[in-house]
Structure 1
Amino acid sequence: MNITTEKIKPYSKVIVLLLKGVVESKSSKWDDIFQYEDKIREYLSVIGLELIYKKEDGYAFLKQVELDEDESTIGLVSRRKLSFGASVVMVILRQILEEFERDLDAYETQERFITEEELKSEIEDFLPQDYDKVKFYSDLEKNISRISDLGYLNKSVADNGETVYSIHKIIKEKVTLDTLLNFKQNLENYGL
Structure 2
Amino acid sequence: MASFDDPGQLPDTPAEAKDDDLSTLAISLLKGVLYREGDERLWNALLRLQGRVRDYLSVLGLELMLDEAEGYAFLKSRPDDEAGEKRPRLVARRPLSFPVSLLLALLRKKLVEFDAAGADTRLVLTRDDIAELMRVFLRDSSNEARLMDQIETHINKVVDLGFLRRLKPASGAAASPPSYEVRRILKAYVDAQWLTELDAQLEAYRRHCGADTSDG
| TM-score in terms of structure 2 length | 0.72
CA distance in 1, matches of 2:165, 2:85: 29
Q: In the superposition, relative to structure 1, how do residues 120 and 18 fare at CA in structure 2: closer, same or farther (>3 Å)?
A: same
Paired position in structure 2 for 1:151: 162
Q: Distance in 2 between matches of 1:158 and 1:92?
A: 26
Gaps (5+ residues) in structure 2? Answer: 1-15, 211-216
Deviation string, structure 1 residues 27-71 (Cα, Å, up to 9, x no partner): 141111001011111111222111111111111111111115889
Other-structure match for 1:42 = 55
Provide the residue aligned with 1:139 in structure 2: 150
Query: Retained in 1: the 8 A contact 2:102–2:205?
Result: no
Residue 32 (structure 1) aligns with: 45
Structure 2 matches for 1:160-175, cutoff 5 A?
Answer: 161=173, 162=176, 163-175=178-190
Q: 1:95 to 1:11 in 2, by over 3 A?
A: same
**How far 1:72 moved relative to its partner?**
5.4
Separation in structure 2 between the aligned mates of residue 160 and residue 88 of structure 1, nearest angstrom: 33
**SS at structure 1 position matched to 2:90:** coil
Other structure's SS at 2:113 match? helix
Unaligned segments of structure 1, at least 5 residues: none
In the aligned structure 2, how far is the partner of 1:147 from the partner of 1:71? Answer: 32
**Deviates further, 182-191 or 153-162:** 182-191
Q: Structure 1 residues 12-21 or 65-74, which shifts more?
A: 65-74
Which among 178, 184, 191 is matched to residue 202 of structure 2? Answer: 184
**RMSD of aligned Cα (Å):** 2.7
Following the alignment from structure 1 to structure 2, what is the Cα–Cα distance between the partners of residues 94 and 119? 12
Aligned to 1:74: 88
Greater shift in the superposed pair: 142-151 or 62-71: 62-71
Match of 1:116 in 2: 127
Aligned CA distance change for structure 1 residues 188 and 150 (closer, same or farther; 3 Å): closer
Matched, 1:83 2:101: no
Following TM superposition, by how much is the alpha carbon of 1:22 offset from its aligned partner in structure 2, in angstroms? 0.5
* Structure 1 residues 160 and 89: CA distance shift in structure 2, 3 A: farther
Paired residues in the alignment total 180
Percent identical residues: 30
From the CA coordinates, give the structure whose radius of gyration is larger.
Answer: 2
Pick one of 62, 71, 82 that aligns with 1:58. Answer: 71
